[in-house]
Chain A
Amino acid sequence: MKGLKKTGLIFFPAFDWAISPTHPEREERLLYTQDQVFEEGLLDFENIVEYKPGLATIEDINRIHICVPDAKSVITESHLISAGGAITAAEKVLSGEVDNAFALVRPPGHHAMRVVHGARGFCNINIEAVMIEHFRHKYGHKRVAIIDTDCHHGDGTQDIYWHDPDTLYISIHQDGRTLYPGSGFPDEFGGPNALGTTINVPLPPETSDEGFLHVLEELILPIIAEFKPDLVINSAGQDNHYTDPITNMRFSAQGYARLNELLNPHIAVLEGGYSIEGALPYVNVGIILAMAGLDYSHVREPDYNPESIRQSGEITKYIRETTKDVLDLWKKRDSFKAGIVKGAKYARRNRNIYYDTDGIREQQEETVRICDDCGGFITIDSMASTGNRIFAVIIPSRSCDLCRLEGERTFGSLNKAKLGAHYLFLQDRDRDIYLAK
């Protein structure tokens, strides 16, 4: 068969783990997907290989997160396995054992931000980010493009890579004015040192295959071509599906398969998607076949009717305009910095972050050094409704000498009592150092 690819599949349905018995993120989320994958006999194809997930380590988490008070307290074993599954997927691709890999694991991670006081949007740790920093540590620095196709804006991944010029984060999602978490507008465009490496394309409710594929072909693929990543990752939520119970989109299994065929990701990692009977079995079979280069044209949902889920002309027009606007923004990305920075040495963000799953509120002030040579060193002052207050210093990957020097000096001079902080953290990516005191 033409274009056959060797595809690794890390399937870990965690049949014994749920947030709560009737929570969408529950035991049987991948049960019918398992049935469909087994019945279709996908694992019998010579070019589809199933692997057992490895376990992520606390070091893997600390490389990217600041967990309060520590990683052990904010995760369960299921998180180490789902992040470990993503790492296994990357491992198989980077070692050359397979051409691409799909981590069909749960729980998901794209709402988990850099600082973790608890769970948000069903996520505790950001499994893609944990994976990316693991392989950057092991295989050397890589330019990475994360295409987040989950219906919800991946505000966690956006937060983690906001200041990283080497990680392109593009999210297509249902408009934040109509869906959790309420963010992800085109003007969220990356920090001052990484303008344009965060791209948001909000789509109106009832967008169907046509709209998604338009954004992919007209915006995402050209930007990826220009960014020239070493690896493309699909943060593959499946909740844009027309049967999803908690969203309002009209994407189909055919659309998901086509998207993965065109995007051709090295790694796909399952994120959300809660239509466990109506969508997931078919969407996942479609994605696996598309990644493996096999014929997916006969995959469809039992109740699939393309006419009934077609998007309106108005939506088509709106999406065309949004796509054009965002593309224009991307083209002019280098022209904004001076106007945003206005000569300041540091840029500051103050945010209130809500952890819906755990009901925690966090107040965070993040400061980044304005830098033309690296992502800039970062300090974070974070206070949560749990009573915890922390202060963290982050020296980024491939930091310039000045950012390193200032970062180290800042951490050295921190005083718990003076800051009113319970914990102090240093995360030094290049030296793979994580200190907590």
Chain B
Amino acid sequence: MILGIDVGGTHTDAVLLDHFQVKKKTKVLTNQLHLVVSLIGVMDEILRGEDLAAIERVVFSTTISTNAIVQGKTDRVGMIVASGPGLAPEALSVNEDTRFVSGYMSNRGIEVAPVKKGEIATAVSELKGAGIGHLGVVGKFSTRNPAHENEIGELARSDFRHVSLGHRMSGNLNFRRRIATTYLNASIFDLYSRFVSEILDFAARTGLAAPIYILKADGGTIEIRQSADQPVQTILSGPAASIMGILSLADCSGSDAIAMDMGGTTTDIALLADGVPLLEPLGVTIEGHRTLIRGLKTKSIGLGGDSRVRVDKGEMLIGPRREGPAAAFGGPFPTPTDAMIVLGLTEIGDRAKAEEAVSEIAGKMNTTVPEAARLIFEKTCQGVASAVKAMIDEINNKPVYTIHELLEGKKLAPARLFIVGGPAAAVAPRLGEILGCRVVIPQDAEVANAFGAALARTTAEVTLLAETERGSLTIAEEGLQMKIPVHFTRKEILKIGMEKLRERARKLGARDADIEMEIVEDQEFNMVRGFYATGKNIRLKAQVKPGLIAGFGKGGARS
């Protein structure tokens, strides 16, 4: 059996799956102050009377890291940044506790200027003297060579409760994002560590021996102990849970598709290419911090069933705010939901109240109530559809760097729309019409998030850079620098990369059956000295992409 739990803003949902079928589901109110209380509460309830030995895995989607950052409940962090030449330090500082030090790696990962121990000692004593317990260490091009970060980390480690190193956050280039990501990681480290130990204590206490996973923003999972050192990997997993939910409830394979969750306040949109959700190219953004954390590319617009409808200078405006439930449910203002009730698209709530609210709009628009309802409904659908179109355009206009991709590159062309959420059934036909898509409304959508979390597989990536002339190979995420023979070819580098990816995925918690590896970047260049090729510069990136665990027929198990 598999247990999936989604800690949402209002409710915490749990599903217990037996052979991929819902055996039990339960819902409790989320205790925002003590998320772990809700989690343990819901686990207690759903596991009551179950044979704990039969539980194969437990997956949480939790907002603990996100909330801490959004609500500013973070720890003060000292940052030691070896910035080297380039952007001015003012453009790199994340807080007033950032200290810039010497030490610089070139874009090939070759040391240009060394770390100066004296500077580190000064920075450490200043930061420690200020009572700071957490340190982030980031160097420019540290993913190309982590030696400086490791060196500074070693010099500082004994003076801080924890030291976060930049190259461990992601294998991607982007110094400013690496600084922000490392800072966030350090700032939630304590809070998240406590959460992990409380969960592990609970498991030990109750005798729950199954591996426990946490959902990440990319829709993948990570084993809870592995996540303790990298709490920042667990931010913004909410939208991921809902997309993975749609993937698990409907058969999304085959063609491109739109996945949409229309709620009361917002509508969240994601895109699937051949059934695989698209990721943010660089990383997710949280509270103005652009990070290197891989996340599903989602767009959230302030347009939902309960958005307030008003008329300003003869123009009808919908959203972006929700100011209570729909009028039909006793809310203060007319909403798209009220319009849908008036149009007979749904039979919920108090129809008279809905009509009364819409008539207020009709009066201001100088039209009949049914016409006003039609206008509200149409504007709602058009608003959502244009956000979808803008997102597709953005994807299709993403710059590419080879002639082949520019001329033959695949264009995203969704043919299906998967939609969940309160107003889904009412808006689906019209949205499908506008977007030219076949519409699918998955069943059991109320447990979609917990279901999605339960079935999400562990994701991992490795970024390799080999220079055969120097005989060097770097694997950024692992902080690994290896010697390779100068005669190594792309094929041999690829083999090493795939082995390392498999090892990494296992370490992060993947079962062998779920390690479906793919190459996402594969480039090979000559290195030329004078007018002779002296070696190869080989760049590879491989991943276990987001998806559902093996054994689960896509959508099939539900029908």
Interface of A toward B, CB cutoff 8 Å:
11-17, 21-22, 26-28, 31-32, 34-36, 38-41, 44, 50-53, 55, 77-78, 81, 245, 277, 281-282, 285, 289, 294-295, 297-302, 304
Interface of B toward A, CB cutoff 8 Å:
83, 85-91, 104, 106-108, 112, 140-141, 172-177, 282, 290, 397-404, 406-407, 523, 525-528, 530-533, 537
Q: Are A40 and B526 in contact (CB under 8 A)?
A: no
Q: Which of chain B's residues have a CB closer than 8 A to the CB of A301?
A: 85
CA distance A14 to B85 in the complex (A): 27
Q: Which of chain B's residues have a CB closer than 8 A to the CB of A50?
A: 399
CA distance A301 to B173 in the complex (A): 19
Distance to closest chain A CB from B529 (angstroms): 9
Given A34-B401, A41-B290, A289-B87; 5 other pairs, CB 8 A cutoff: A15-B402, A39-B174, A51-B397, A77-B403, A302-B112
CA distance A17 to B525 in the complex (A): 11
With A27-B525, A32-B108, A298-B86 as contacts: A41 and B402 at CB distance below 8 Å: no
Q: Which of chain B's residues have a CB closer than 8 A to the CB of A52?
A: 397-400, 406
Q: Which of chain B's residues have a CB closer than 8 A to the CB of A295?
A: 87-88, 90-91
Closest to A39 in B: B173
Q: Which 10 A-B pairs have the closest CB atoms?
A: A28-B525, A41-B176, A295-B88, A38-B173, A35-B107, A302-B112, A39-B173, A16-B402, A300-B85, A52-B399
CA distance A51 to B394 in the complex (A): 11
Q: Are B523 and A298 in contact (CB under 8 A)?
A: no
Q: Which of chain A's residues have a CB closer than 8 A to the CB of B177?
A: 41, 44
Distance to closest chain A CB from B85 (angstroms): 5
Q: Which of chain B's residues have a CB closer than 8 A to the CB of A32?
A: 107-108
Q: Which of chain B's residues have a CB closer than 8 A to the CB of A294?
A: 87, 91
Distance to closest chain B CB from A265 (angstroms): 22
Q: Are A35 and B173 in contact (CB under 8 A)?
A: yes
Kindly name the residue among A16, A55, A294 whose own CB sees the greatest number of chain B CB atoms within 10 A: A16
Instruction: Please list 27 pairs of residues, one from A and one from B, whose beta carbons are closer than 8 Å in the complex, sorted by A's number.
Output: A12-B401, A15-B401, A15-B525, A17-B403, A21-B526, A21-B533, A27-B526, A28-B527, A28-B537, A32-B108, A38-B172, A38-B174, A39-B140, A40-B175, A52-B399, A52-B406, A53-B406, A55-B406, A81-B403, A277-B107, A277-B108, A295-B91, A297-B88, A298-B83, A298-B86, A300-B85, A302-B104
Q: Which of chain B's residues have a CB closer than 8 A to the CB of A12?
A: 399, 401, 406
Q: Which of chain A's residues have a CB closer than 8 A to the CB of B176?
A: 40-41, 44
Kindly name the residue among B90, B175, B401, B523 whose own CB sees the greatest number of chain A CB atoms within 10 A: B401
Kindly name the residue among A11, A22, A81 whose own CB sees the greatest number of chain B CB atoms within 10 A: A22
Q: Are A14 and B402 in contact (CB under 8 A)?
A: yes
Distance to closest chain B CB from A4 (angstroms): 12
Q: Which of chain B's residues have a CB closer than 8 A to the CB of A297?
A: 88
With A44-B176, A281-B107 as contacts: A13 and B401 at CB distance below 8 Å: yes
Closest to A33 in B: B107
Q: Are A14 and B401 in contact (CB under 8 A)?
A: yes
With A32-B108, A297-B88 as contacts: A26 and B526 at CB distance below 8 Å: yes
CA distance A364 to B525 in the complex (A): 40
Distance to closest chain A CB from B33 (angstroms): 34
Q: Which of chain B's residues have a CB closer than 8 A to the CB of A35?
A: 107, 141, 173
- Contact of A15 (CB < 8 Å), options: B141, B398, B523: B523
CA distance A14 to B87 in the complex (A): 26
- Contact of B404 (CB < 8 Å), options: A11, A16, A22, A299: A16
